[in-house]
Amino acid sequence: MLQSLSIRDFIIVNQLDLEFERGFTVLTGETGAGKSILIDALSLALGARGEGGVTRVGCDKAEISAIFGIAHNLDAQQWLQEAELANDTTELLLRRVMYADGRSRAFINGATVTVAQLKELGELLVDIYSQNAHHSLLKAATQRQVLDHFAELSALAMQVANQFDVWHQLNQQRLAAEKNASLYADELADLRDQVQELSALAMTANDWQDLQQEHLRLSNGAGLITGGEACRELLSEGELSAMRLLSQVQHKLENLREYDATLSEATEILASVMIQLEETDRFLNRYLQRADLDPASLAQLESKIETIYNISRKYRVQPEELEQLLAKSQQRMAELALFADDAELAKQEAAALALYRQVAEKLSAGRQLAASKLSQKITAEMQRLSLSGGKFDVALTPQAPAANGLEQVEFLVAGHAGVAARPLNKAASGGELSRISLAIRVVTAQKQNIPTMIFDEVDVGIGGAVAEVVGQLLKQLGQLPTGEVVHGELAASRQVLVITHLPQVAALAKHHLRVSKMLVNGQTLSSIASLPVDERVQEIARMLGGVDITETTLQHAKEMLNKP
């Protein structure tokens, strides 16, 4: 769960440090006070795409740090282990730095990471639902994902998509083979000649380097022999050779050592040098005995190198790339040979399609079972949200084999009794969509293991008695087990943070945070404070009565807070 959030120089926040608890927490404040700043900052710490203009005026950078307790979040622990970012504690630190020039940096447990890594890990920690989430529910892809997630079929759906890709690729290969049979036959004939020529050459990148080195040696044979002999002359053969001169030095040191034993170290060093020089001289002698001038070998080698160059130019590659070209040509030949064998290609395609149908039909069966359950549960929640007589239905319409399965998933809704169910994007008004979206989240949350859920003004368009029901639902959501195991039992509650403008919702929260803004040295700054009971009464009264708060309004606020 989210334990703390620190924000520095972000938009209109100078410095903010917040601690969080489990259960249902609300965030309230005047319009424009910056309630969504907390969500925006946390989203950046979780890997959201950064945009310019988030640093406070006059500052070079903004910093957001979030600490999560992951002692019981096994998915997050596994991710950290695989990414080699785990530490020795049960706390996880996410940090994001946004610079005024648009640059940003991301950190996990102090290590620099990509924003993509931050986002991938963040999805295991927090679910954020904004007003835009309502609109995403109107998309077929989102509706299908909601159903699959509720039915715990997401992994199977991915398997279906992967198997569809396998079948589709083979299908396209077969169609291309039928259409381009003559072209493929000509290409295969050319490749046979190419592979034959390259195979006969038998050239690898290492072979080419060896040939270059051998050519360098043979073409400089005379210089090598002359130079080697000159080295031996200077080393050991001449009257003033190095070994003769050093031998004289060695003899003098041996005599001097009789008068001063400390010269022994010098004589030992020189003796070692003499041994090395003798080894060098013997090596050069053996080298010169083997060295010879071989014009025939040089000519033969140059002929081979010329052949290699000619073939390289013919196929427009570098000599060291001929080995790779041969491998690619052989691979392409194997593909074309498969194309030429219509029966084998059709057989593979049919096998892939059969395997696709096998997993897709399993997915269809799971969806069919889950669709009925999801429809019933959401319909029941709709009744609580003053959509009496309303009905929610998950329609499954058969379709041709596709990456998403053998059926289209569509949410249908009837807002009132006696009204025919219609697609969600055509039947629901803004307020109804908010309520239906909340009902979906409450129902599907029971299948989620994400310990922290954040709702950013999802109750827009809701009021009156419905608002209290919404508050009850969010409270209920905060009391659901998270799937985390604590001391051998499921954690008592998840963490639900809600930004709201409704006093009916705020009064039902377990914890209350208030956002305020003030003018400091000519700058507007935002702050967030945790409210004790007496200040909660004042805040609920403000939400109820506006500017002028009466004793009646205060009493009403107290009653709302004391309501079980």
Give a yes or no: residue 197 inside a domain.
yes
Give a yes or no: residue 563 inside a domain.
no
The three-class DSSP label of residue 422 is strand
Distances (CA, A) of 118 to 80, 123, 322, 379: 11, 9, 43, 37
Give a yes or no: residue 11 inside a domain.
no
Place of tokens 């050519």: 215
How large is the angle between the packed helices 464-478 and 430-445, nearest 10 degrees?
20
Give a yes or no: residue 71 inside a domain.
no
Give a yes or no: residue 287 inside a domain.
yes
Give a yes or no: residue 218 inside a domain.
yes
How many Å apart are CA 111 and CA 95, to the nearest integer?
10
pLDDT tens sequence for the chain (564 residues): 899 999 998 888 888 888 998 889 999 888 766 777 888 889 999 998 877 778 888 889 999 999 999 888 888 899 999 999 988 888 999 999 999 888 899 999 999 999 999 999 998 888 887 766 556 778 888 899 889 989 999 999 999 999 999 999 989 888 877 776 667 777 778 888 888 888 888 777 788 888 888 777 777 766 777 787 788 888 888 778 888 888 888 888 888 888 888 888 898 898 898 889 889 888 888 877 776 666 777 788 778 888 888 888 888 888 888 888 888 988 888 877 766 566 677 888 899 999 999 999 999 999 999 999 999 999 988 888 878 888 999 999 999 999 999 999 999 988 777 788 888 877 666 667 777 887 887 788 766 667 888 887 766 667 777 788 888 888 888 876 655 444 444 445 688 898 888 898 899 999 999 988 887 777 778 888 889 988 999 999 988 876 678 888 899 999 899 886
The H or E element that residue 473 is part of is helix 464-478
Max distance between CA atoms of the chain, in angstroms, equals: 124
For residue 430, what are the contacts with CB-CB under 8 A and spacing of at least 6?
A: 460, 461
Range(s) of the domain holding residue 307: 186-338
Give a yes or no: residue 140 inside a domain.
no
Q: How many domains does the chain have?
A: 1
